Amino acid sequence: MLRPFLDVFWDEKVWLPPNTTWADVAPGPDKAVAYTNHWHVLYPIPMALVYTAIRFTMENYVFAPFGRSLGVKEGRSKKVPNNPKLETAYRADPESKKIIGLAKQLDMTERQVERWWRLRRSQDKPSKLVKFCENMWKSAFLTYNFLCGVYILWDKEWLWDIDHCYIGHPHQGYTNGMWWYYMVTSAFYWSLLLSQFWDVRRKDFWQNFVHHLATISLISFSWVLNAHRVGTLVILSHDPAEIFLEAAKASKYAGYHKVCNCIFALFVLLWTVTRLGIYPFYIIWSLLFRAPKLWSPILTFDVLIFLLCVLFALDVLWTWLILQVLYKSIKTGQVKGDIRSSSSEVSDSENSHDSNHNTPNRVNNNMSDK
């Protein structure tokens, strides 16, 4: 039943240059170069489960003890008074706004129900230690991945001359190092895509979800297209800024504000150079203007450009959020607020306001901690 659909989907006219067949680029010992195997794009999925296990181990037995030694708080908010009826209503709909109806049913004031509700939501929030461990894991992995990428690509000609990403396509082989670089990176983003549903919920949840999907699609698509040279440059250009982003978040949760300020400054510099400079004006530009002159046009080429543009659109969106944090930081002399949305979906300020109605200064302090 699927054969007609698959025949259309894998049409050689769609994927391959003129006068090229799937047999020409099929992997095999008799070929001059190592061609990519389409089925390998599925390998990162089980690898992502291994990553999840490694992350659990690292967070609980390495990063958590390290965070405690730095004084990162792991305690949760004030325990909510036991109220079975309110608990049942909360579990049914945590975002419910039907405070008036609940207050009448329980013979409580609206203020009492609202306070209980917000305290209960605050209780569900992960502690600073949990956030610290998550950021440390991402920063550690991305550092490792970036260094491996530099080591693997350092002697590759397309790292220094991007035209070599297109010359000779699709007859471009890959090395074992490139294979692992691709699979490991894809597995990492698969693990982030899956864990996003139980990790600290960010305000940019859906932006991150789209980003992870686009990244996985781009990696998989470029692998099938045998355009892995471009893919490696995209990965390499996106890792450096993320390293410092996660490190800045971790240092903020640990209370090292001066360190956070320095790391944040480096992050902004790297973000500007890589995400707003190298990526659009070097990589995407070369695909738009150099690639058509160096390789035969194919229909899937437009899909590759589309995926790259989706990533860039998200980079632009996050740049606007980063500029807001930068502006506040310059005004106050300290990184405050979200670093590209580092807070959970339930804001700290909301919980602080509810539990401290008569102490507005305490609210301001909690906002600063956020």
Q: How confident is residue 181, by pLDDT bands cut at 50, 70 and 90?
A: very high
CA atoms within 13 Å, Cβ hemisphere of 161: 6
Average pLDDT over residues 31-37: 90
Q: Alpha carbon of 41 to those of 80, 89, 244, 284: distances in Å?
A: 47, 44, 29, 23
User: Measured between alpha carbons, how far is 2 from 42 in angstroms, rounded to an integer?
Assistant: 19
Determine the residue type at 322: I
Place of tokens 């139980």: 198
Question: Does residue 60 register a pLDDT over 90?
Answer: yes
Domain over 77-124 is classified CATH 1.10.357: no
Rounded percentage of the chain residues whose pLDDT exceeds 90: 46
Q: What is the pLDDT of residues 340-351, one digit of tens each?
A: 554 443 334 333
Q: Which of 76, 112, 118, 111 is nearest to 96 (CA)?
A: 118
| Distant-in-sequence, close-in-space partners of 64: CB < 8 Å, separation ≥ 6 | 74, 129, 133
Burial class (CB in 10 A: 0-12, 13-18, 19+), 313: middle
Rounded percentage of the chain residues whose pLDDT exceeds 70: 79
Nearest-5° Cα angle at 265, 214 to 186:
25
Q: What is the pLDDT of residues 2-32, one digit of tens each?
A: 777 777 788 888 888 888 888 998 998 888 8
Q: What is the pLDDT of residues 84-98, one digit of tens each?
A: 766 676 666 655 556
Q: What pLDDT is stored for residue 94 in this prediction?
A: 56
Within 10 angstroms of residue 135's Cβ, the number of other Cβ atoms is 25
Q: What pLDDT is stored for residue 338 in this prediction?
A: 55
Average pLDDT over residues 309-313: 92
Task: Tell me the torsion sign for CA atoms 269, 345, 235, 305.
Answer: negative
Quote the tokens at residue 202. 């960010």
Average pLDDT over residues 210-239: 92
Q: Alpha carbon of 187 to those of 146, 153, 182, 209: distances in Å?
A: 15, 19, 9, 15
Question: Does residue 150 register a pLDDT over 90?
Answer: yes
Q: What pLDDT is stored for residue 29 in this prediction?
A: 87
**Contact between 17 and 199 (Cβ < 8 Å):** no
The domain ranges of the chain are 34-69+127-332, 77-124
Estimate to the nearest angstrom the gap between the alpha carbon of 316 and the chain centroid: 15
Report residue 202: phi and psi, to 5°.
-90, 165
Task: Tell me the torsion sign for CA atoms 129, 94, 353, 119.
Answer: negative
Average pLDDT over residues 240-265: 93
Q: What pLDDT is stored for residue 275 in this prediction?
A: 94
Q: Which of 167, 193, 218, 172 is nearest to 47 (CA)?
A: 193
Average pLDDT over residues 118-143: 85
